[in-house]
Amino acid sequence: MHCRLADDAGGVHGGDICTAAQITAAAVVRPVAHGNAAVAQDRRLILIASSTSRQLVAEFFGTLLLLATVIGSGIMAERLADGNLAIALLGNTIPTGAILYVLITIFGPVSGAHFNPAVTLAFLLRREIGFPRAARFMFVQTVGAICGAMLAHVMFEMPVLQLSQNIRSGPAQWISEFTATFGLLTVIFGGLRWRPEAVPTLVGLYITAAYWFTASTSFANPAVTFARAFTDSFSGILPADAPPFILAQLAAAVVASFALRWLFSDEPDQE
């Protein structure tokens, strides 16, 4: 690649900013040959190739569509399942996994397709995104999530803003959220390390599975959790139960950011 990396404020270090085609080619070719440093640089290049406004719109719109899918499919599934909770959960699971594949594929080259403050926090702790950009990402993700919940309600002729009465509390739920979030980040960083082009598929499949192997049905996302407190539907969570979920998710992001750096490192272990 003959283009150059820009800093987090948008300044270019010697040369033109890479085109999307150059970035995509590098992201697919370089990781195995050049290791983690090259992968991190290519992810920064992806963000720099798009303007900040485009990145923020991508994060907002992607998170909005994610929540509209999670909540909307939950409403539809519950209405059609005739009281069968297993069928309702299945009807909620499949659209969520599918939309994640779509959203990561189309918005990944624009913003990195985080749609999740826990993911953004992990990239921040790994120094692959600067604090100003991370803070803006987290803000628009949260706003997008709330707007997605409102959109789902409008589409199903429900009150636009609601408070959930769905109780999700207790140590089993919190451990489930830590596990779900740590697992999600393992999939993301492992995929970026070994098969970057497969990340959309890997994330979609992981969340599909995590809906069923975690007691909490795998929220794994602070913005999603916050927004789901404002829907009194199948996908909702009692507002008082949301903070422990979010704390577990953020704790998992902190642990994963360091543990996975070691796990997927090129450096040999010290004997």
CA angle 116, 264, 25 (to 5 degrees): 70
pLDDT at 19: 35
Write the DSSP string, 199-250. HHHHHHHHHHHHHHHSTT-----HHHHHHHTT--STT---GGGHHHHHHHHH
Using CA atoms of 208, 210, 211, 213 in order, give the dihedral in degrees to the nearest 10: 130
Contact criterion met (CB below 8 Å) for 43 and 112: yes
Q: Which of 9, 28, 49 is the last residue of a domain?
A: 49
Residues 18 and 150 occupy one common structural domain: no
Give how far the C-alpha of residue 106 lies from the chain's centroid of Cα atoms, to the nearest Å. Answer: 14
pLDDT at 269: 65
Residues 100 and 221 occupy one common structural domain: yes
Residues 19 and 72 occupy one common structural domain: no
Residues 118 and 216 occupy one common structural domain: yes
pLDDT at 266: 75
Residues 45 and 76 occupy one common structural domain: no
Give how far the C-alpha of residue 223 lies from the chain's centroid of Cα atoms, to the nearest Å. Answer: 9
pLDDT at 38: 52
Contact criterion met (CB below 8 Å) for 160 and 231: no
Residues 187 and 68 occupy one common structural domain: yes
What is the total residue count of the chain?
271
Coil/strand/helix, residue 24:
helix
Write the DSSP string, 66-116. HHHHHHHHHHHHHHHTTT-HHHHHHHHHHHHHHHHHHHHHHHHHHH----S
pTM for this structure?
Answer: 0.82
pLDDT at 236: 97
* pLDDT less than 50: residues of the chain: 1-34
Q: How many helices (H) and strands (E) does the chain have?
A: 10, 0
* Total domains in the fold of the chain: 2
Coil/strand/helix, residue 17:
strand
271 part of a folded domain = no
Which residue do the tokens 């999939």 mark?
187
Residues 209 and 233 occupy one common structural domain: yes
Residues 147 and 108 occupy one common structural domain: yes
Residues 161 and 34 occupy one common structural domain: no
268 part of a folded domain = no
Residues 30 and 85 occupy one common structural domain: no
CB atoms within 10 A of CB 24: 18
Model confidence pLDDT, tens digit, residues 29-38? 333 444 555 5
Which residue do the tokens 């995104």 mark?
129
Coil/strand/helix, residue 120:
helix
Q: Which of 11, 29, 49 is the last residue of a domain?
A: 49
Query: Where residue 199 sits, what CATH number does that domain have?
Result: 1.20.1080.10
pLDDT at 11: 37
pLDDT at 14: 36
Residue ranges making up the domain that contains 10 = 1-49
